[in-house]
Amino acid sequence: MTAQTDLDMVHLRLILVSGKTQDFTFSPNDSATDIAKHVFDNWPAGWEEEQVSSPSILRLIFQGRFLHGNVTLGALKLPPGRTTVMHLVARETLPEPNSHGQRNREKTTESNCCLLL
């Protein structure tokens, strides 16, 4: 195992839905699953109200997209040595699939007809 310098590491500032934040440092080789497990195992003081029962329900959001478990920080091409902000949410707080369908149905109620004279 090679030692990595601080400049090689990826600094993440994780934000909860409540707005609470915490900074963590990870290797570019760490995956979203690795990060969720590390955060769960080292749950910050002050986040007690948001404590979850398992690391498997923690999800990272980066630039509006959920990160799949096997995606590494290196694959995201995050700038090493700088702090990147991501959101951390519990899976059960995600929108229900039906909510997207409901929005799509509402959109289809709009009339797109034109009148030919």
pLDDT confidence of residue 113: 55
Which of helix, strand or coil describes residue 82? coil
Q: How far apart are CA 15 and CA 75, in angstroms?
A: 21
> Is 46 within 8 Å of 24 (Cβ atoms)?
no
pLDDT confidence of residue 35: 97
Total-model pTM: 0.72
Domains of the chain (ranges, CATH numbers): 10-90 (3.10.20.90)
Give just the sign of the alpha carbon dihedral 10, 56, 41, 46: positive
Taking the chain (117 residues) in runs of 10, the rounded mean pLDDT of each run is 68 96 95 96 94 93 91 90 93 49 47 55
